[in-house]
């Protein structure tokens, strides 16, 4: 994510916390990141073309 953020113009959310240890209160890995503007992918997934039409 850091590479993409610094070498492209693709918007990348800021990661505030990344927990890889399973010995935490939720007992799994998790990431807390900045909310980005736009639509959740699950809302538009079925409207996307199967193959790119370039």
Phi, psi of 33 (to 5 degrees): -135, 165
Q: Where are the domains of the chain?
A: 2-47
Q: Which of 18, 13, 32 is nearest to 2 (CA)?
A: 13
pLDDT of residue 54: 67
pLDDT of residue 48: 85
**Cα distances (angstroms) measured from residue 46 to each of 25, 41, 43, 53:** 35, 9, 8, 16
- pTM for the structure as a whole: 0.60
pLDDT of residue 39: 84
Phi, psi of 42 (to 5 degrees): -65, -20
Burial track 25-50 (b if 16+ CB lie within 10 A, e otherwise): eeeeeeeeeeeeeeeeeeeeeeeeee
The residues of the chain scoring below 50 in pLDDT are none
């Amino acid at each position: 994510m850091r590479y993409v953020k610094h070498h492209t113009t693709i918007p990348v959310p800021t990661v505030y916390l990344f927990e890889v240890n399973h010995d935490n209160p939720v007992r799994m890995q998790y990431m807390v990141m900045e909310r980005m503007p736009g639509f959740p992918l699950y809302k538009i997934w079925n409207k996307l073309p199967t193959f790119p039409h370039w």
